Each structure stands twice: as C-alpha cells, then as structure tokens.
Chains A and B, each alone.
Chain A
Amino acid sequence: MFKEIKVLKSHGIQYVKNLRMQPVSALFRGRPVISGDITKDEIKTVSFACPVMAIDGKSGSIDMGRCVFCKECSFLLPDKIRFTNDYRISSNVREALIIKPGSENPVQLDENRIRKEIRRLFKSALKLRQVSAGGDNSCEMELVATGNVNFDFGRYGIEFVASPRHADGIVITGPISENMAEPLDITYNAIPSPKIIILAGTDAISGGIFDGSPALDRRFIEQNHIDLFVPGNPLNPLTFINGVMDLLGIK
C-alpha cells in the first residue's frame, strides 16, 4: 500500500490541461514559413533537394501533405525557409496543406466544406477505428498516445474502439500497401454510415517517401471523400487532437 502511495505521489498530475495551447519544444518541426522574397534559383535548389517532391519548383510552396518534415530545405536556406513549432496543421481541405511563400497564416479548416452531419452527430462523442495500412508504427504509437494519461483525448468522448461496428469513422495510417487494400475496404465497409475518414500522417495523405512504390494500392483514397488530413512524420498527437476538435467544432 505504501509503495502505491509513493508511486502515485511521484506520478503527480500528468494530464495536459489545455490541448489547444500546450507548448512543444522549439525544435519541433511543424508548419513551415517560406520567405516571400525567395528567389527562383533558391526554389530550384530546395525543390531539387527535397526527398519527396513536396516543394513546387515554380512557386516554391511546400505541400505538408507530401512533406516528411526532414527540414533539409531549411538547413540549405535557413534565411528563407523555417519550420515553426506550430502543430495545428490539420485541415479538411487538401489544398490548405500547401504553404505558399510569404504566408504566415495558420492552417485552418474550411467550415463550409465540413459535411453537415458530422457536427450534428459526432460532436459529443466520436468513436474511431484505426487501420494501419503499411504504417511504420510511429503514427500508430502517436495515435495511441492521444488517449494516454498525458493527452487524454477521451475527455471529449473521442476514443479508438476495437470493432468497426462500434465506430463512427476510420483513421488510416501508412501509404496503403497492396496487401492491406482489401482488409482496409472490408473494415471501412463494416462501419455503419454516416462515417468519416481521417488520413493520419504524411504516408497516408500522399504515400510520403513510399510514393511511386509498386507495392502500394491507393485506390481507396481516390474513391472516397476524406474528411480530415493530419500531416506529420509521424503526426504529433496534438496535431490529430486539434484537427479533430476543429472538425467537430469543439472550442
């Protein structure tokens, strides 16, 4: 008994009070900011160096849906590109993940394009089924972390469940391997409608570093409407939490 009390005392209070404003370390690689005066030559240099073709060779914009957040472009041009530690980078609109030179605006959801039933049905409770389809286990571990003692996303009634039958939506990680394409379909079809689809992590959004591999089958992404894109390599739990809260309209 004394041991338990000692452990509890050392444990203290661990939960993150305000999931909206939790500070993260300065080096965390979140939303990039590209200087408005980046030159054509500089754009050429970094877009050539980018391992995943996330930097547009013409405009110099960075697509966070492709970016693996290696920060190498910023190491090449520290005065022109920097990665802020802003982790609130989820959106329901794919184009919102593309950061243009000169833009310092936070990433937002397009309220008008959120399906009406989502907030009506899921605002006070959202149960999600996770499917890893070629994920490397880092995104998966970060999704587990959203429900842990620190982040405790369950406080809003948002949880991962064991059966697709109990779920209101699916969270996909990984670039979707050919061998997982069918199990993914089956799981998605087992979820009762209406249901939402969340792509968690860069690999799921664009294939990431695996883009172009013949071992993938990404037809699921092309055939279905995606309700939320959560970038990151892996996604940070706070990116997922804030994205889902924005989607559901939780203040």
Chain B
Amino acid sequence: MDQKLYMEIKNNSLPLDLKEIPVLKYEVFYDQVLAFLKDEGKHCIAYYGVESAGNLKLYCCIADDNNNIVVLFAHELNKDHLVLKSLTPECVQLHIFEREIHENFGVEFEGHTWLKPVRYPYNRKNRSEIINSYPFYNIESEELHEVGVGPVHAGIIEPGHFRFICNGEKVLHLEIQLGYQHRGIEELFITKCNALQRCILSESIAGDTSIGHSLAHSQLIESLAGIQVSEALQIERCIALEMERLAIHIGDTSALCGDVAYQLGQVVCEALRTTIINTTQFWCGNRFGKGLIRPGGSNYPLNNDVVNEILRVLDDTGRRFFEVTDLIYSLPSVLGRFDDIGILTRQQALSLGAVGMTARTSGILRDIRKTHPFQYYKNYLVRPVILETGDVLARGMERVLEVHESVKIIHELIEIWQQKIKDFRKPVYDYNLKPDNFAISMVEGWRGEICHIAITDNSGNIAHYKVKDPSMHNWMALALAVRNQEISDFPICNKSFNLSYCGNDL
C-alpha cells in the first residue's frame, strides 16, 4: 500500500496524533508543496522547523480554502547535513518561511536568492549576525540615493528600519528590516507553563490584536484539552472579535486622513474609535479587550447591560462613521492622494501568499471566517468584502465596507445570542492536554489570518509553540506596493497596510 502523503485537519476542531503526520523524503515533499501551491485556492499558512535530538523536523501546513481543510505533512533532516533545495524560486510565498528556518536552524536553502534574517531572535543559529549588520540590497550608481528611516520613527509607533533606494523622488526599491521588537514569545509559551501566563502572553503578541491572538490561543488549548464551549460563548467571542475589527478600522481611517492632512476626517474618526474601545472597556474593563478571552469560559460573560450599550454605541457611531466616510471618500483632495497609489496587483498578492485585508483588496477571497470557519462563524455566513484595485483607496474603502459589515454582523449575532442558553462557566486553567498531538488554530483578526500551532510531548506538556501573525506574509507586499511611487507617498502606503512589527518579531 502507498504511504499516505499528507493528513487533513480542520480549523478549530480535533488535534492530530503526531504519529499520523507523514514524514516525506525531501523530493516528495518538494514536489507536493509545489503541486498544492499551484492552485490559487491554496496557500501556505505555516512552514517551520522543530528541533529534536539530532534532527530537525520541518512541518508544512497548507490551507485549502475551497475544501475548508488544512493539509499537513513533514520532512525530517539530520542536523549534520542541513542543506536543501530551495522552494522559493518556484514558489515565492515560501521565501519568508525558508528565511525563518535558515535563521533559526542554519539550514542552507540552495537557490534561495534572498536568504536574509527575519527577526534576529535571541536563539538564532548564528549569534555573530547582529541587527546592525543586516545585508541590505544596494545599487551602485551616481544617479541613485538611499534613504534610511528608523528603527525609531517620527511618530509613536513601533520600531523597524526602512531602506529606500530612490531615483530623485521615485522609490525604486524598499527593503524592510525587522526584529527590533523580538521578545522571545514562542519560547515563553513553553517556559511560562502556567495557563494564565500563556493567556496573558497571547494578549501581548500584538496588543492591537489582543482579542484575535488570545482567541487563537484559547481555541488551540480547547482543541488540545478537548474542551467544548457553549454556542452563546462562541457568539460572544465573535462579537468581541468584530468589535476589535471596528475599532482598528475606524482608527486607521482616522490615521489615513491624518497622513493626507485632512483634519476633519482625522479627528471625527479618532473620536469614533474612542467610543468603540470604551464600549469594550465597559464590557471587560480594558479598552483593548485584554482579559476578555480565556479558554473554556469567560470572566466577563456578555449580559443585557453590555448588549444594550453595544447596540446604542453601534447605532450612533455607525451612523456618524458612514456620514464622515461618505464625505472623506468624495473629496478630490483625499481621492487624489489615495487613488491609484501603492498598487499591489492580484498576481503579486497571490505569489506572496498575502492574507487578510491585503489579499481581499487585491481581489482574492481569503477570509478565515468564511474559508476555515471557527467559533460561531461555523453557523453564520460571513460576506467578505472583496475589492479589485489593490491601491490605497481600495484599502481605505475596504475598512469602510468592513465596518458596515461588522456592524451588521454584531447586530445579527446579538439577536442569535439572545435566543441561546447562557452558561456562565469560568475559564479553565487546570487543563490536561492530549499527549503527542498536533493542533492548529486560525482566527481572522482585523489584519487577517492569525495562526497558532502547538505540539505536545508524551506527558501532555507543550513542547513547541508556533505563532504566525498575518504581517509575516504581508510585509513584503508593502515593499512591492511602494515601488515606482513617490517617496512622499510611503506614509499613506504604510498606513493603508498597517502591519504589525511585534506580531512579526514575536
């Protein structure tokens, strides 16, 4: 009988026995990855290495959006001979994953043209490579000049270094160097083995996506511990996730206006964002929803007071937001700065394996809520917003339309929630995880696909924890989108993507 070439696993469901994951020869592994990723409906969600005595095991997880499954397979190589033929020349979206494996374990990927550091983690293979020695691409020319920005930026934002090569005002090339925010999160998930510590950690992966990441973590734990949660709680989590999406989208609209000096749009949206995050605070005592999502239960079950407050704020804020965005997106001075700027083509987005908003604004349906549904989205049909033009205007409009959609979703979910039986189970911190298992959890945060993966050892402890923020895929999309743009358009391009530094750096 033929050996099985891959295993299938569903998001937010049962974990897999580690032994069931086929370990393939590299030639087979290589061909299979390429065969899968030829299809537009599939993309790589994680490809990473796990070290064990003398060996390095590479796991590859590919999402099949049309069939709502994730396919999973592995390759194992001996640490004495860490050389592999790179997949990147054939399939660009793997570039970042191969770079990460190279940086962490020293695997040489032959044929990879851009094998550069990803984040300079403390436990990188080569400690002599330091963040100041990043090998920037450069072009020798009298005509061109370089512009370096960061790591410390002009505004109150996270650190990262941007190196532009410009011809006059025009950007020929942008290289983004990250890693400044590296805090060793993945390893802390193992060393801080208390359940509550892990919850707090997951909320701190990217504070602007506290709810998204803590939900991904809780889902993962529930999968490994075999914990079922009530439909009412699933709905509450979806509402929280949509509230987070609303707050950030409205805040981003404000920031986009700020970057083109349209003050009315900026201050009005800024005030509207405040109303949303204050509602989250009314619900759980924290404006970013820290503490709201816990495995197995909730410390802040939704109640009628909170529901009434959410409905009141949504009605008022929703109306005002559409009033102001109707104005913003009809102003020639704003449209002139957004329209046709920073284009990411559909082809580029596909080849980079872009996810989330970035993919949707380039005409690709990638929305985990629909393609790999989790929590109550399994029973509730989300209508993803797909735009085609891939420019700053599309990414701005995407936010407006998604706010529209999220307001509708929250309304409808609240109605369903009111019919459900509530249970007031407290969070579960003394869980037992299935030993020798592999679990995967995906959540569509406001940026896109968040993915947490855990592997347990034979006594049920977490042996390996992997976090993937959507930014990991999408940073390269920003670098491509600013090519041939004026350097003065960089801020709005950057803001229109609004990617996470700490989510990438971990």
Interface residues of A, Cβ cutoff 8 Å to B? 3-4, 6-8, 10-11, 14, 24-25, 27-29, 49, 51-52, 68-72, 75, 83, 130-145, 148-150, 160, 162-164, 174-175, 177-180, 182-183, 187, 203, 208-210, 212-216, 233-234, 236
Residue with the greatest number of chain A CB neighbours at <10 A, chosen from B278, B319, B324 = B324
Complex Cα distance A25/B159, Å? 32
Chain B stretch 172-202: residues in CB contact (< 8 A) with chain A:
179-184, 187-188, 191-192, 194, 196-197, 199-201
* 8 closest residue pairs by CB, A with B: A138-B207, A215-B184, A136-B207, A27-B285, A162-B154, A215-B122, A149-B267, A51-B197
A216 and B271 form a contact (CB under 8 A): no
B159 and A27 form a contact (CB under 8 A): no
A175 and B183 form a contact (CB under 8 A): yes
B274 and A148 form a contact (CB under 8 A): yes
B271 and A140 form a contact (CB under 8 A): no
A210 and B271 form a contact (CB under 8 A): no
Can you name 13 A-B residue pairings with CB atoms under 8 Å? A3-B326, A11-B268, A51-B199, A69-B291, A70-B291, A137-B158, A137-B206, A141-B208, A144-B156, A149-B270, A179-B180, A209-B201, A209-B204
Complex Cα distance A237/B268, Å? 19
Question: Which of B131, B268, B500 contacts A137, CB < 8 Å?
Answer: B500
Complex Cα distance A233/B330, Å? 39
Question: Which of B204, B286, B323, B330 contacts A136, CB < 8 Å?
Answer: B204
Specify which chain A residues have a CB less than 8 angstroms from the CB of B270 in the assembled complex. 148-150
A183 and B121 form a contact (CB under 8 A): no
A71 and B285 form a contact (CB under 8 A): yes
A-contact bits for B107-127, CB 8 A (1 contact / 0 none): 000000000000011110000
A136 and B205 form a contact (CB under 8 A): yes
Given A27-B281, A162-B155, A209-B197, A137 and B182 touching (CB < 8 A)? no
A180 and B151 form a contact (CB under 8 A): yes
Complex Cα distance A209/B202, Å? 10
B188 and A138 form a contact (CB under 8 A): no
Residue B164 at the A interface, CB < 8 A?
A: no
A7 and B500 form a contact (CB under 8 A): no
Complex Cα distance A215/B187, Å? 10
| Residue on A nearest B123 in the bound complex, by CB | A214
Given A133-B159, A216-B183, A179 and B271 touching (CB < 8 A)? no
B206 and A71 form a contact (CB under 8 A): no
Residue B92 at the A interface, CB < 8 A?
A: no
A-contact bits for B263-292, CB 8 A (1 contact / 0 none): 010011011001000100111111110110
Not counting A141-B208, A234-B207, a sample of 9 additional A-B residue pairs whose C-beta atoms are within 8 angstroms of each other reads A7-B264, A24-B281, A28-B286, A51-B199, A72-B299, A134-B183, A148-B270, A150-B270, A233-B290
A187 and B152 form a contact (CB under 8 A): yes
Specify which chain B residues have a CB less than 8 angstroms from the CB of A182 in the assembled complex. 132
Given A7-B324, A215-B122, A215-B183, A210 and B157 touching (CB < 8 A)? no
Given A27-B284, A75-B299, A7 and B271 touching (CB < 8 A)? no
Residue B223 at the A interface, CB < 8 A?
A: no
Complex Cα distance A187/B281, Å? 34
A178 and B122 form a contact (CB under 8 A): yes
Specify which chain B residues have a CB less than 8 angstroms from the CB of A144 in the assembled complex. 155-156
B183 and A177 form a contact (CB under 8 A): yes
Shortest Cβ gap from A38 to chain B (Å): 20
Shortest Cβ gap from A184 to chain B (Å): 8
| Count of chain A to chain B residue pairs whose CB atoms are closer than 8 Å in the complex | 200
Given A145-B274, A148-B274, A132 and B158 touching (CB < 8 A)? yes
Complex Cα distance A178/B123, Å? 12
Residue B320 at the A interface, CB < 8 A?
A: yes
Complex Cα distance A209/B290, Å? 13
B158 and A214 form a contact (CB under 8 A): no
Question: Which of B156, B283, B326 contacts A160, CB < 8 Å?
Answer: B156
A14 and B271 form a contact (CB under 8 A): yes
Complex Cα distance A191/B140, Å? 35
B285 and A4 form a contact (CB under 8 A): no
Residue B12 at the A interface, CB < 8 A?
A: no
| Residue on B nearest A145 in the bound complex, by CB | B274
Question: Which of A52, A137, A149, A187 contacts B207, CB < 8 Å?
Answer: A137
Specify which chain A residues have a CB less than 8 angstroms from the CB of B204 in the assembled complex. 136, 203, 208-210
Residue B327 at the A interface, CB < 8 A?
A: yes
Question: Which of A49, A160, A213 contacts B188, CB < 8 Å?
Answer: A213
Shortest Cβ gap from A64 to chain B (Å): 15
Residue B502 at the A interface, CB < 8 A?
A: yes
Complex Cα distance A84/B204, Å? 23
| Residue on A nearest B320 in the bound complex, by CB | A10
Complex Cα distance A69/B120, Å? 31
Residue B210 at the A interface, CB < 8 A?
A: yes
Specify which chain A residues have a CB less than 8 angstroms from the CB of B156 in the assembled complex. 130, 132, 140, 143-144, 160
B207 and A139 form a contact (CB under 8 A): yes
Complex Cα distance A142/B286, Å? 12
Specify which chain A residues have a CB less than 8 angstroms from the CB of B426 in the assembled complex. 75
| Residue on A nearest B201 in the bound complex, by CB | A209
A183 and B152 form a contact (CB under 8 A): yes
Residue with the greatest number of chain A CB neighbours at <10 A, chosen from B123, B286, B326 = B286
A210 and B182 form a contact (CB under 8 A): no
Complex Cα distance A178/B439, Å? 31
Residue with the greatest number of chain B CB neighbours at <10 A, chosen from A68, A75, A160 = A68
Shortest Cβ gap from B181 to chain A (Å): 5
Complex Cα distance A231/B268, Å? 29
Specify which chain A residues have a CB less than 8 angstroms from the CB of B271 in the assembled complex. 11, 14, 148-150
Shortest Cβ gap from A83 to chain B (Å): 8
Specify which chain A residues have a CB less than 8 angstroms from the CB of B290 in the assembled complex. 69-70, 138, 233-234
Residue with the greatest number of chain B CB neighbours at <10 A, chosen from A24, A70, A83, A216 = A70
Given A71-B285, A137-B208, A213 and B291 touching (CB < 8 A)? no
Specify which chain A residues have a CB less than 8 angstroms from the CB of B120 in the assembled complex. 179
Specify which chain B residues have a CB less than 8 angstroms from the CB of A187 in the assembled complex. 152
Complex Cα distance A52/B327, Å? 47
Specify which chain B residues have a CB less than 8 angstroms from the CB of A179 in the assembled complex. 120, 131, 179-182, 505
Shortest Cβ gap from A230 to chain B (Å): 14
Complex Cα distance A138/B207, Å? 5
A140 and B158 form a contact (CB under 8 A): yes
Shortest Cβ gap from B328 to chain A (Å): 9
